[in-house]
Amino acid sequence: MTNNMFFIANWKMFGDIRSVNSTKKVIKLSKNKKYKRAQIIYCPPYTLLEKFLKITKKSKIKIGAQNCHYSQRPGPFTGSISANLIKSIGANYVIIGHSENRISEDNNHTINLKIKSALKEKLKVIFCIGETLNEKRRNKTNLVLKNQITRGLKNIKNNNIIFAYEPVWSIGTGVIPTNNSLKKQILNIKKIINKFCKIKNPKIIYGGSVNTKNITELKKISLINGFLIGGASQNTKNFIDIIKKTIN
């Protein structure tokens, strides 16, 4: 394995001002040549973005937001944050289409608008896709992924997109796909992107219950360009362990 690997920490609505300091050990690791293939990205809650940007400034760690509003202009959207606001404080990435947001505000159309808005601001997009347990049981996974990708990326030609395959049934459950089925899904996603999108060499990462134990199996799938990590990324020791076990 010689390619760079993404380790994206999605802190969701966890962490507070004190937890920013807990990242110091990760910053140290990011400066170690041995782990230069690791592209670490922290996506903390909005209120911690500036603190994260400050503490990671002298490292190659990048910072992203967990969502953005679809509007490309400022507007009367109480409680919302635009891609422009995210970019203006110096963040480089934004997660869009996370299943936890697809439950409430997001659908393939709003996600398409959000991605356009983010790309216009030159943010890199971590685009989440994945089927629910119900869809999986009804053998709808391929169709769901195809719709999410083609509708989410309608009229978009841009390489600044990382595809995060997160089967919803795997998020926070401790259950992960077998390596064979994960490999199959990644190949399927590549095929869909190839057929319907003009994106060259797409980066595809996996998310859903990645932890210090299952990483030794997951890392065997060479098609995967990294991991989007929820729970395990909030514990610095575990996050470092995952990075070390992947890149050794």
Residue ranges binding ligand 13P (CB under 6 A): 10, 98, 166, 171-172, 207-210, 228-232
Measured from the CB of residue 44, what is the shortest distance to ligand 13P in angstroms?
Answer: 13
98 catalytically annotated: yes
Q: Which is nearer to ligand 13P, 153 or 171 (CB)?
A: 171
Give me the catalytic one of 100, 121, 131, 166. Answer: 166
Neighbours of 114 (CB within 10 A): 27
Measured from the CB of residue 9, what is the shortest distance to ligand 13P in angstroms?
Answer: 9
Give me the catalytic one of 50, 69, 98, 109. Answer: 98
C-alpha triplet 97, 100, 104: angle, nearest 5°: 85
Measured from the CB of residue 235, what is the shortest distance to ligand 13P in angstroms?
Answer: 11
105 catalytically annotated: no
Are the beta carbons of 26 and 246 closer than 8 angstroms?
no
- Using alpha carbons, select from 77, 73, 99 the residue that is nearest to residue 164: 99
Q: Which is nearer to ligand 13P, 8 or 197 (CB)?
A: 8
Q: For residues 117 and 248, give the distance between their C-alpha atoms in angstroms, rounded to a whole number.
A: 38
65: Cβ contacts below 8 Å, ≥ 6 apart: 43, 46, 49, 81, 86, 91, 93, 94, 95
Are the beta carbons of 205 and 8 closer than 8 angstroms?
yes
Q: Which is nearer to ligand 13P, 63 or 84 (CB)?
A: 63
Measured from the CB of residue 227, what is the shortest distance to ligand 13P in angstroms?
Answer: 9
Give the CA-trace dihedral at 215, 218, 223, 226, to 10 degrees.
Answer: -30
Active-site annotation, residues? 98, 166
